[in-house]
Structure 1
Amino acid sequence: MKTRTINAIAIALGLTFSTASMAAAMTRTEYSAEKDRIEKDYKADKVACDSMSGNKKDICVAEAKGKEKVAKAELEANYKPSDKHRYDARVAKAEADYDVAKERCDDMSGNAKDVCVKEAKAALTSAKADAKVQEKTTEARKEAGKETAEARKDAAEDKRDAEYKVAKEKCDALSGDAKDACQAKAKAQYGK
């Protein structure tokens, strides 16, 4: 009986989480509308950069492109939720930050510029590595969750079998109709 309750709870939790993830998914219409908004925002941001000149304009354009790239990657992760799309969104953010940082380095010269570029590259490498770790950790958790659920199921079966054997042994002390009733009750209780 305890096993059935545990299994019912596990199934209910699984349905809850799968329903929650389905509810979070976007419709095709919402996706298209959000994609159009991102493109309009990018165009507006780019127009705002036109009034600037020199490296300030380059930085502004890099920020606008980065913002668009990140927004599109996040949109894709929301529209089609997956570990790969979440990873892609993290990488898009890292690359956008790198592009902007690299443009900011253009205001410097000599060793200061070289150091700035190396720092930007190191930050990019670090962010990509963190995204990869996050992706692998998520995969490992999913696998561990599956293995844990399987182990729990096996353990529950083993417990149920052991409890059934105990109940059956208790019935052996009885005789006649009492023994038959006891065995029938044990079989019904433990699903045998």
Structure 2
Amino acid sequence: MNKLNITINAIALAAGLVFSAGAMAQTMSKNDYKAGQNKISADYKAAKTACASSAGNAKDICMAQATGNEKTAKAELEASYKPSPKTRYEAREAKADADYGVAKERCDDAAGNAKDVCLKQAKAAQVSAKADAKAQMKTTDAKMTANEKSADAHKDAAADKSDAEYAVAKEKCDTQAGAAKDNCLMEAKARFSK
């Protein structure tokens, strides 16, 4: 069983390293995405095969880990391929669900009240992880909205300043007459893009 856990953890670590490198780049080609999908499938098949040598609840735990790792890896791949607050949230949610699935299987080794407590703890951990993921997504959305509003405010302020300076330049042109005034107005319009 320990050998099996080491194999599964090694696969999960390798997948995690692949996807964290993709997350750092923030862009992924379609070919890299397809290669990632193929690697996830191969890793899942290898983990599933490794689980075949186990029996009983140990096999159930192993399969829950393999399935959870696959779903988490797919969600992380999607978040790397199409980075957004929503895809990062979905990756965190997939991880919470995967952890819950494994924890729930581990609870089957207990009985009575100990099993009930174990299941409640597993559910509480899942709810907590999902709540944290949702809070992170909402915080990111709020920051993006605030940044957009800030950019709009700066743009509006720049436009107001430009209009005010243009009004001053036009007023200065009023002291001139004829062609000089026309040239002055043309220069003011050009300088302030009016």
Give the TM-score normalised by structure 1. Answer: 0.76
Aligned to 1:158: 160
Deviation at 1:97, TM superposition (A): 0.5
How far, CA to CA, are the matches of 1:25 and 1:33 in structure 2?
A: 11
Aligned to 1:13: none
The letter of the residue matching 2:158 is A
Aligned to 2:42: 40
Aligned to 1:74: 76
Aligned to 2:5: none
How far, CA to CA, are the matches of 1:34 and 1:177 in structure 2?
A: 69
How far, CA to CA, are the matches of 1:23 and 1:75 in structure 2?
A: 11
In the alignment, structure 1 segments of 5+ residues that lack a partner are: 1-21
- SS of the residue corresponding to residue 24 of structure 1 reads coil
Contact kept? 1:31, 1:79, Cα under 8 Å: yes
Deviation at 1:180, TM superposition (A): 4.0
Contact kept? 1:83, 1:138, Cα under 8 Å: yes
- SS of the residue corresponding to residue 173 of structure 2 reads helix
How far, CA to CA, are the matches of 1:23 and 1:123 in structure 2?
A: 29
> In the comparison of the two structures, how many residue pairs are matched?
171
Aligned to 1:98: 100
Deviation at 1:75, TM superposition (A): 1.8
Deviation at 1:175, TM superposition (A): 4.7
Once the two structures are superposed, the pairs formed by residues 152-191 of structure 1 within 5 Å of their partners are 152-175=154-177, 178-191=180-193
Deviates more, 1:100-109 or 1:142-151: 142-151
Deviation at 1:38, TM superposition (A): 1.0
CA distance 1:23–1:133, shift in 2 (3 Å): closer
How far, CA to CA, are the matches of 1:38 and 1:80 in structure 2?
A: 17
Aligned to 1:9: none
The letter of the residue matching 1:146 is E
In the alignment, structure 2 segments of 5+ residues that lack a partner are: 1-24
How far, CA to CA, are the matches of 2:48 and 2:163 in structure 1?
A: 69
Deviation at 1:179, TM superposition (A): 4.0
Deviates more, 1:106-115 or 1:178-187: 178-187
Aligned to 2:61: 59
Deviation at 1:178, TM superposition (A): 4.6
Kindly report the root-mean-square deviation, in angstroms, between the aligned alpha carbons of the 2 structures.
2.5
Aligned to 1:112: 114
Deviation at 1:161, TM superposition (A): 0.5
Give the TM-score normalised by structure 2. Answer: 0.76
Deviation at 1:88, TM superposition (A): 1.7
